[in-house]
């Protein structure tokens, strides 16, 4: 598939079939993710692949961490949709930003962290596009970041959780979501 075609075909998928995703397919998606550029090639991303019962445990912890938001939010179904997608998808990938050694790049300043987050964004987008190419659906999820201490305790890792990606075979084919006209996002100078 052409790159532009994959970019155009990608959608956030929130309904998944239960069919398992073979490990070699997951690895191909992760390899594409890791081809992303990064500052001085530091490759600050780390992944945890959750399948089966571990994935469901994560969703339970997340639901618990989000209970206040679920109760008070004006449209809690958004969060419920995210949680359901994580339950349905046979694979949930957690994406972390590595905790850099104090000696590397003289410790991480705010600018370094911003740069690392940019490259992790590129890494996740690579992952989503590779998934499209391999016939898989994905949902990029930041709601995991609101689940608080319970999630940190469950994960028990020194590195920082940045996002989750639900991965599996799509059980829906949503239409393209609208984008504002280019002229509203772009200025030209010179
Ligand atoms: C950084 C980021 C975080 C997101 N977090 C969530 C999320 O937690 N739950 C969810 O359902 N969708 C999430 N999305 C998906 C967006 O809602 C979606 O990309 C947007 O509505 C455009 O739709 P499309 O991806 O189908 O083009 C996230 C997307 C990005 C890039």
3-state secondary structure 73-91: CCCCHHHHHHHHHHHHCCE
pLDDT at res. 54: 95
Instruction: Compute, in angstroms, the gap from residue 103 CA to the centroid of ligand 1.
Output: 35
The CATH number given to whatever domain includes residue 93 is 3.40.109.10
Q: What is the mean pLDDT of residues 123-136?
A: 98
pLDDT in tens, 147-172: 988 888 999 999 999 999 999 999 99
In a domain, 159, yes or no: yes
Q: Which of 15, 123, 128, 139 to mutate to test the pocket of ligand 1 (most atoms within 8 A of CB)?
A: 139
pLDDT at res. 99: 80
In a domain, 189, yes or no: no
Q: What is the mean pLDDT of residues 67-85?
A: 85
What is 98-139 written as a DSSP string? ----TTGGGS--HHHHHHHHHHHHHHHHHHHHHHHHTT-EEE
Instruction: Compute, in angstroms, the gap from residue 158 CA to the centroid of ligand 1.
Output: 26
pLDDT in tens, 96-119: 999 866 555 556 689 999 999 999
Nearest CA to ligand 1 atom 4: 141
Instruction: Compute, in angstroms, the gap from residue 12 CA to the centroid of ligand 1.
Output: 6
pLDDT in tens, 5-49: 999 999 999 999 999 999 999 999 999 999 999 999 999 999 999
Nearest CA to ligand 1 atom 6: 141
In a domain, 188, yes or no: no
In a domain, 185, yes or no: no
What residue ranges line ligand 1, CB within 6 angstroms?
A: 11-12, 14, 81-82, 139-143, 177
Instruction: Compute, in angstroms, the gap from residue 73 CA to the centroid of ligand 1.
Output: 18
pLDDT at res. 157: 94
Which atom of ligand 1 lies nearest, measured to the CA of 11? Answer: 26
Residue 139 belongs to domain spanning: 3-174
Nearest CA to ligand 1 atom 25: 12
In a domain, 170, yes or no: yes
Distance linking the first and last C-alpha atoms of the chain: 36
For residue 141, give the nearest of 62, 75, 71 by alpha carbon: 62
Higher pLDDT residue, 181 or 110?
A: 181
Q: How many domains does the chain have?
A: 1
pLDDT at res. 101: 62
């Amino acid at each position: 598939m052409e790159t532009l075609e994959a970019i155009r075909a990608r959608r956030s998928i929130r309904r998944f079939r239960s069919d398992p995703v073979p490990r070699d397919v997951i690895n191909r998606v992760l390899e594409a993710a890791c081809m992303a550029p990064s500052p001085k090639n530091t490759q600050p991303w780390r992944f945890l692949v959750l399948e089966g019962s571990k994935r469901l445990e994560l969703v339970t912890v997340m639901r618990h961490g989000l209970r206040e938001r679920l109760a008070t939010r004006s449209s809690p179904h958004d969060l419920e949709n995210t949680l359901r997608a994580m339950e349905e998808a046979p694979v949930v990938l957690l994406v972390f930003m590595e905790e850099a050694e104090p000696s590397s790049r003289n410790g991480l300043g705010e600018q370094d962290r911003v740069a690392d987050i940019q490259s992790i964004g590129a890494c996740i987008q690579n992952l989503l596009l590779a998934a499209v190419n391999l016939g898989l659906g994905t949902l990029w999820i930041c709601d995991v970041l609101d689940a608080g201490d319970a999630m940190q305790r469950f994960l028990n890792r020194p590195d920082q959780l940045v996002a989750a990606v639900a991965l599996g075979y799509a059980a829906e084919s949503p239409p393209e979501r609208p984008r504002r006209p280019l002229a509203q996002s772009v200025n030209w100078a010179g």
